Chain A
């Protein structure tokens, strides 16, 4: 049983909509595996099926060798699932919430106290033990959710967009906890719509419309991206994007804040062509330079023009 998570050909429909379509991947113990994709790609549906609260229409799920589809209750003590909005009881204090979730999973008192203190420390929530969960900030709530999800020392942790709406400081603390867990051998599967967060994962599955488009380490995904990437900084990047539409050799255009990422078949050949095209209508721009692609570039390259248009 080498894999912590092994799912095969997983399919789930909601009426006529196929939310997850024949998805397969495996996650090794101690990995931080990321599911990346836009809203509606099927991330939450996969998470819920893994957590055993939604049954798939086809496919297999093995968690540490336990068949989740056949015996969801057997898998539950070993896993932890943190939905986008963790269900905290807002009328209960931080400590009471932790105790509640510890008891639900049958954590012995001693262990609860020791582990609770350790997790509170790591999340910098120690001083807020007696505060009502409802009075915490968004980031603190999310960290408390993580503590509640971790109090029973799960072997597999499922996190559905855990840092959405969390401030940068809390987010860094959150990731510090995740790295610690990884050291302890906990397998983490998380979904995210943040590309910078995706880069922190050991491996990624790029998900679009219920299907996996690509699955590999962030490094190899970037290397495997067809073509090369040129960045065109400009005061009016929208004008740049509009102008570069039909240039030969351009495979894709992506607006990235104050610049446009241009995916081309050959960087050396395309760069002068781009400069020439922009010179015509006299669009001001900075130096056109080759850059390393980010996950977002890879994702857009894989998924194609349809989402690129939407993203714009």
Chain B
């Protein structure tokens, strides 16, 4: 005698083994998405197409322009001869940034007056625009420093304003010294992909039994809801763990994201996350009679889970009501755990609240599913 749970598991694994596409479906989309996200999900602005209009045509204006080109970030795509050309470039998207050096720039600079410099930025993508403007102000500041160095000795160097204090801020980012946003994104992608895959797999697997009619057959057998649900979820739990391991290893080896935490905490965190994700999938299945319904529900839920997780948008910046919703989102907690384990290497007690939250969400969802999955067709 093999036991009812045992035979459920055996059946699941045979079905999985016979499903020729299973391995493909389980692994390939994960890797493709990991690579797509890994390369595409970035906030870094490495190239700003720029148009320049130099109305001053002076040594100073040329020096300023060379400051821009020297960075390698500002790609001068056009040198304009009048304002209309700038408007056209920005409208057509040829350039994201326009720098206009007005007449009398050099003269005013030399006289210590306001030197007219105009920067126009395409604000369509506000994020890129802000970052580009940040670069611009850094370069202008650098230019001013250099100019001052040139000019001051000429004016005998004596008149250094008394009491002028130059502050120099030194940044020292922790955990991600290079402030690489890939380091930030890759661990998040792992959590997100697992959520999408396992919720879908679990929900579809249960609903499929309902559709094919095997569920009705199982209902009339003496198997308990608990045994059935365990039999349905254990395989996906194992698949989920294997997936976490696979994409973590690719993230570490291919994308060079460091993993400084404790692997056992990672195992614990992943297990708790999978518990909550499986619970979610089961809950979804109890609300769906057909795979189409499950698909629609899945589609409806996953985007909010993704957005309200802190994957890309900081939870602290969300309106209070949406922040409350994030407490129901297992991904929220797992992202904290996985980022902390990859980059910070914190210990168990630091992550305890997140572990506890995932455990409660998981057991809660499973309990509700089990109650809803009472052995009847009513």
Contact = CB atoms under 8 A, between A and B. Distances in A.
Interface of A: 48, 51-55, 72-73, 76-77, 79-81, 83, 85-92, 96, 99-101, 103-106, 108-109, 132, 148
Contact of B11 (A76, A85, A86, A100): A100
B3 A103 contact: yes
B221 interface: yes
A88 to B, nearest CB: 7
Contacts of A105: 221-222
Interface residues of B, number: 29
B213 A108 contact: no
A3 to B, nearest CB: 21
A188 to B, nearest CB: 16
Contacts of A73: 222, 375
A53 B222 contact: no
Interface string B1-41: 11110110011001100110000000000000000000000
A101 B221 contact: yes
B376 interface: yes
Given A100-B11, A103-B6, A103-B7, A51 B214 contact: no
A76 B222 contact: yes
B1 A86 contact: no
Contacts of B209: 87
B378 A54 contact: yes
B218 interface: yes
A76 B220 contact: yes
A77 B221 CA distance: 7
Contacts of B218: 87, 104
A148 B213 CA distance: 14
B83 to A, nearest CB: 70
Given A76-B220, A86-B217, A104-B7, 6 more contacts: A53-B377, A54-B377, A101-B221, A103-B3, A104-B222, A132-B18
B212 interface: yes
A104 B19 CA distance: 23
Interface in B191-208: none
The CB with the most chain A CB atoms within 10 A, among B2, B4, B11, B15, is that of B11
A14 to B, nearest CB: 10
B19 to A, nearest CB: 7
Contacts of B377: 48, 53-54
Contacts of A80: 220
B7 A83 contact: no
B219 interface: yes
B220 A52 contact: yes
Contact of B216 (A87, A91, A109): A87
B217 A83 contact: yes
A88 B220 contact: no
B328 interface: no
Contact of A88 (B6, B214, B221): B214
A87 to B, nearest CB: 3
Contacts of A96: 11, 14
Nearest to B215: A87
Contacts of B220: 51-53, 76, 79-81
Nearest to B224: A73
B128 to A, nearest CB: 50
B223 interface: yes
A103 B6 CA distance: 9
Contacts of A99: 7
A76 B376 CA distance: 12
A128 B98 CA distance: 77
A95 to B, nearest CB: 11
Contacts of B14: 91-92, 96
The CB with the most chain A CB atoms within 10 A, among B1, B6, B19, B209, is that of B1
25 contacts: A52-B220, A53-B219, A53-B220, A54-B376, A54-B377, A55-B376, A76-B221, A76-B222, A79-B220, A83-B217, A87-B216, A88-B214, A89-B214, A90-B212, A96-B14, A101-B221, A103-B2, A103-B3, A103-B4, A103-B6, A104-B222, A104-B223, A105-B221, A132-B18, A148-B217
Contacts of A52: 220, 376
The CB with the most chain B CB atoms within 10 A, among A88, A89, A104, is that of A104
Contact of B213 (A53, A54, A72, A85): A85
Contacts of B217: 81, 83, 86-87, 101, 148
Contacts of B7: 99-100, 103-104
A85 B220 CA distance: 14
A109 B214 CA distance: 22
A106 B1 CA distance: 7
9 interchain residue pairs of minimum CB distance: A87-B214, A103-B7, A87-B217, A87-B213, A104-B221, A91-B18, A81-B220, A91-B15, A53-B219
